[in-house]
């Protein structure tokens, strides 16, 4: 997650619950603000890499459909998806509509070259990717310097059971895993009964009780005993809050691989929950 997590944060705002979702989000659900590099362009790049799409030949219809599906999940999770995300959704829909309009024969035969409606978006994506890569190099160098001069206060696993290096998972990796979980259990949660569920703080304590210090658990195992969509959403929000507080960290075997949640050994971050 972003280094912005180290900065003091204001008290969580109460969520404005969209119509029809009153039974899903609890009153204490925090408004999750997306850090730098986790905006709409980053989501598009994530989908492009995940589906192994040629960025220079974007299939607008399927990428728009997937983008909107992720937006739906993010809105249910009360992630901050207003503004830029909605503008990008409108941009994708506009490009899609322009590509559906047939090219006039006179335009095709004219001297002026036909402009691909995707051209500007591709340019922005490539520019953003270069900027993100450069920032990633600077962040990696800072981590190397910190490792040389400071002693870490936590012990984190570098390899999985098979001896393969684990990559730290990002927000969209988590959202993708949660989206797949909801898709798999759609039939189970279709007719859930409304009721008073646990708070985000209670679920945070429950997750810490599930994962012992220095050990890890599969992401899906956190939701194995849950039967309602409300419980799953609260648990996911609790996981995001634990990540923000540096009580747990999430890794995956290779890009887009299965996610494991690790609980570091060491003192909790300031303001974190007491050890379970």
Q: What is the pLDDT of residues 201-259, one digit of tens each?
A: 999 999 999 998 888 999 999 999 888 888 899 999 999 999 988 899 999 877 788 89
pLDDT grade for 163, boundaries at 50, 70 and 90: low
pLDDT grade for 195, boundaries at 50, 70 and 90: low
Residue 9's pLDDT is 39
DSSP one-letter string for 80-105:
--STHHHHHHHHHHHHHHHHHSPPPH
Other Cβ atoms within 10 Å of 2 Cβ, number: 15
Residue whose C-alpha is closest to residue 237's, from 77, 75, 33, 80:
77
Residue 66's pLDDT is 94
Q: What is the pLDDT of residues 50-75, one digit of tens each?
A: 989 999 999 999 999 999 999 999 88
Parallel, antiparallel or unpaired: strands 166-168 and 216-218: unpaired
DSSP one-letter string for 214-231:
T-EEEGGGGGTT--SHHH
Distance of CA 39 to the CA centre of its chain: 10
Q: Which tokens hold the place of 213?
A: 């210090």
Query: Averaged over 21-50, what is the pLDDT?
Result: 66
Q: What is the pLDDT of residues 120-158, one digit of tens each?
A: 999 999 999 998 888 765 555 554 444 444 334 444 454
125 dihedral zone (left: phi>0; alpha: psi -120 to 50; beta): alpha
């Amino acid at each position: 997650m972003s280094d912005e997590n180290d900065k003091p944060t204001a008290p969580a705002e109460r969520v404005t619950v969209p119509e029809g979702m009153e039974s899903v989000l609890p009153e204490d659900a925090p408004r999750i603000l997306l850090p730098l590099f986790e905006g709409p362009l980053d989501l598009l790049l994530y989908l492009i890499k995940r589906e192994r799409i040629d960025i220079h030949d974007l299939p607008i219809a399927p990428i728009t459909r997937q983008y909107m599906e992720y937006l739906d999940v993010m809105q249910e999770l009360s992630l901050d998806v207003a503004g830029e995300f909605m503008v990008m959704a409108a941009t994708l829909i506009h490009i899609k509509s322009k590509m559906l309009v047939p090219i006039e024969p006179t335009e095709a035969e004219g001297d002026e070259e036909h402009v691909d409606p995707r051209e500007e978006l591709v340019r922005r994506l490539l520019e953003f990717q270069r900027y993100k890569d450069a920032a990633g190099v600077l962040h990696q160098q800072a981590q190397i310097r910190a490792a040389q001069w400071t002693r870490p206060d936590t012990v984190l696993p570098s390899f999985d059971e098979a001896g393969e290096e684990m990559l730290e998972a990002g927000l969209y990796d988590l959202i993708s895993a949660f989206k797949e979980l909801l898709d798999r259990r759609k039939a189970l949660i279709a007719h859930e009964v409304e009721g008073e569920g646990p708070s985000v703080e209670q679920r945070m304590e429950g997750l810490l009780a599930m994962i012992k210090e220095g050990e890890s658990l599969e992401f899906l195992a956190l939701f194995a005993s849950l039967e309602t969509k409300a419980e799953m959403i609260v648990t996911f929000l609790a996981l995001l809050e634990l990540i923000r507080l540096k009580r747990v960290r999430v890794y995956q075997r290779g890009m887009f691989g299965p996610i494991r949640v690790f609980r570091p050994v060491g003192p909790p971050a300031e303001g974190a929950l007491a050890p379970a």
